[in-house]
Structure formats: structure tokens, C-alpha cells
Chain A
């Protein structure tokens, strides 16, 4: 069994999983705290429509995935800002529209293309050197931007209006966050697939949420959980010959329920401080 870890494809897979796991779980903290969970789901389906169009017209699928993903989050953010529609309604409309487009593009393809389905269901074990390079570049870019703007991103997640009133460029930061969500989704599609990438964003951050009351600790826990479950899922997938995406997500889900069950927050909830 240990022979598996001597293969190049396994090294690439584990590296890709670690990066994607870390990236998704860090951006997930802001997604969960700012209440953008549904945006993650909608964006992944929009990005998948971009991939399908790329294969249909012979354009680079990752490039079109980024275009579709960014267009979706920016339209969503713009609609929310104008206050014309609730975020979940606008993303719901774009989510289903882009999914319809994806099905249409696949239907227009003359031949069955397994690579398209690789982006839908994820196939980390088949990540190529070039894809690893793209994942590395985007991971460094997204994590770098999060690190640089972490205090503003935390503040808008806490209260965007208060942040704006305090002199923080809150609108700019909100659109930066949406952009980073879209990039993260695109980076992660090949690894866990368009359907399950949402879980990679949501579950580690929600698990960490059960364990701490501090923003910094929450981010560190989420990252540790994201990397561990992604790498652990790939190993389980390789050893047990299971699809990688579901293995990662189900492992993360098991950890989530353990955290809910053992959450110190649940135990403390019955004993708040009472004075003044």
C-alpha cells in the first residue's frame, strides 16, 4: 500500500489537495461569517458552465470558468448593494441559469467528453503538472490577498455598515471577497468537483466555528481541518479505490458532526456571564 506514495501522480494529488483544502477553508471562514454560503454553491455551478463552454468552443476551460464565476459573484454583489433583491434570490436565479447553460453546452457537444465530468465530480488523482501550477499560482494569490486584507475582511464579515462608517473601504472589500470566492471555486473544481467544492468551503469553517470564539483561532482551526480532511480524503480515496471528491467531503462531514457533539460552545452556552 505504501508503494502508492512513491508515484508522481500521488505526490501531485496530495499537494493539490493540501492547497485546495487550505484555500477553501480559509475563504470559507469569511463566507460563513458574512452569510455568503449560497454564493459559494451558485458560483461553482456558474464556473462549471464556463468549463463546459470552454470544451464546446475550444477555449481554455479554466479561463472561462473564471469569467463565469466572476460575472456571477459581481452581478450578485451589485444586486445586493442596490438593495433591489435579496442575495439568496439573485444567486438562486443565476445558479439555475448557469446550470441550464452548462447542460445546454454539454448537450451541444457532439461527443461524450469525460474531462468535463472530471470538473463536475472532481478527480484529484488525475491532476497534471500544468494544473498544479495553476492551482499553486491562484492559491498564493488568493491567500496573499486574504492575508493583506484580513482585518478589513473580518470587519465587513462582522458588520459591513459599521466598517464603512469607521472609514474602512467596505464596498471594495466586499467585492474583493466575492472575487476571492470565485477564484477559490475555480481553483478547487478539478480537485473536488463543481458539486462538492461548496462543501469544502463551508464544512471546515463551520467545524471550526463550533470550537472557538476567536476570529484568528477560527481561521487557523479551519485551515488545519481543511488541509487534514483534503489530504486524508485523497489517501482514503487512493487506498480504498473510492472517488476522491466524496471521500474528502464525507471525511470533513464526519469531523463536523464530531465538533458539533464535542463543541465547548454548546457546553458554555448555558452559563453566560451576568453582571452589569
Chain B
């Protein structure tokens, strides 16, 4: 991990988001470097999804600045945003929508194709490769709604890969999946991070699932509480301040609520 030598990709400078008086994120200064694997954690309503929407260009800072690939991105639809592959929270998309796996992944090409141009052989090759990366190449003509939750997540990751991104932005990747599937999907993301040299921002509630995999954890609760390696973030005093509950780190490095720890 040579963060110091890497290019900054996403840079928040004293950035605030929301409405005057109702801040979703306040005075955030954070730099994400090329090739980092970053986990974003925090309680419900802490601004994790706002952070995600800001990076995607769906909302502008009301104070401060946000630089994406060293561009101030004053225009929300700055072309630099196309380099960010995004996987939305489960439930945002109707997973029974009448669409095949191939059609879903091809949507990842639409932004870079531009208006009035339709996919060609090169786009189809990129899509096929993206499906191969997530081991879903045998399911091109399968209906999205016929797949299991884990397979659907793989298809959505392939859709993000079809964008040929430099950054993968994954919002609640493992929510609603069983424990084995959660593990498999996180493994896949780590593999893509290593093989394709992708910068990964993983927004999650599951601290234990990602703590051993990420380079840094970003801890949010409207303000930025920490952005450091997991060992420096997962400290009882910091967690108590953010989560408002005594959390303990067990001998096996698991973060659990203290009440539960005492009873077991």
C-alpha cells in the first residue's frame, strides 16, 4: 500500500452537502487515492449515501469543493464521472424488470456511447469480458429476475465494469444476501480490485466483513470522524462516539455490541 505515491482520484475539500440548516454531510475533507480499497461506514442517516450521490454528480456541494480526477466538476454531468462505475443499493432497482443479463450489462456502455449511437461489436466484446470477470458469461440471455440475489449483484458489478471505470462505487453491496453469498461477492470485489487495479469505495454496515480487506475505513456521522487504516478507526472510544453504543473488539477482531458480548 503506497498511498502517498498514488494520484488523488476523489478529493473533498471542506465540502458540505444538503440544504442550509439540514446538512447531510458537513465540512468533509477527504482524499481517495488511485488503487485504494476504502470502506465507508457509519450509522443509518450518517451521510453514506449522500457521499455516494455527491461522487456520482447527483448533488453539488453547497459549501467547499469536490474534485474528481483533479477536475473541479462544476458541471454535475462532468465527463469524468463516467469513470466511476456504480452499483446502487438493493431495492432501488426493480430486479424483476423485463431485461436480460446482456441488456442490463450493455447499459453500462450507454453513457460513453453518447446520443443516437448504438452498441457495436467492440461494445459487445467489452460486455462479454465484463460478464466473464464476474463469472456470469453463461447467463447472457437469462432474465435478470430469474437470478438469485448474489447473481444479480454480480450482473450489476459487470454493468459497472462495462463502463470501463477507474473507480467502483458500491452502495450496500451485501445487504439482503446470505452469509456465504456476502463472502463470495466481497471476494469478487477484492479480486477485481487487485486484477483490474480498480479503486474501490464500498459503502456498508458490515464492518466485520470488510475490516480485513480494506486499506482504509472512512467513518461518517454527518461529519468525517476518521479516515484511516481499520486498526486506527475501530477503537472503542471512536465507535462509541459515532454509534452511541458501547462496541467492543473481540479477541477474534470482531466488532460487536457490548451488551451482546457480556451475555455470551
A contacts, CB < 8 Å to B: 33, 148-149, 151-152, 154-155, 158-159, 161-169, 209, 212-216, 218, 268, 272-276
Contacts and interface: CB of A to CB of B under 8 A. Distances in A.
4 A-B pairs with the lowest CB-CB distances in the bound complex, closest first: A167-B111, A213-B143, A166-B111, A276-B150
A48 to B, nearest CB: 32
B86 interface: yes
A218 B92 contact: no
A159 B181 contact: no
Contacts of B99: 158, 213-215
Contacts, number: 106
B103 A166 contact: no
B108 interface: yes
Nearest to A218: B98
A168 B111 CA distance: 5
B108 A33 contact: no
Contacts of B145: 213, 272
B97 A273 contact: no
Contact of A165 (B58, B112, B151): B58
Given A214-B98, A218-B98, A273-B146, A166 B82 contact: yes
B208 interface: no
A152 to B, nearest CB: 7
B58 A273 contact: no
B115 interface: yes
21 contacts: A149-B115, A149-B116, A151-B107, A151-B113, A158-B93, A158-B107, A162-B107, A163-B110, A166-B107, A167-B79, A167-B110, A209-B98, A213-B146, A214-B98, A214-B103, A215-B99, A216-B103, A268-B146, A275-B151, A276-B148, A276-B181
Contact of A169 (B77, B94, B103, B163): B77
Contacts of A216: 103
A168 B163 CA distance: 12
B56 A165 contact: yes
Nearest to A29: B98
Nearest to A208: B98
A276 B82 contact: no
Interface in B96-121: 97-100, 103-104, 107-108, 110-113, 115-116, 118-119
Interface string B164-201: 00000000000000000100100000000000000000
B65 interface: no
B148 A166 contact: no
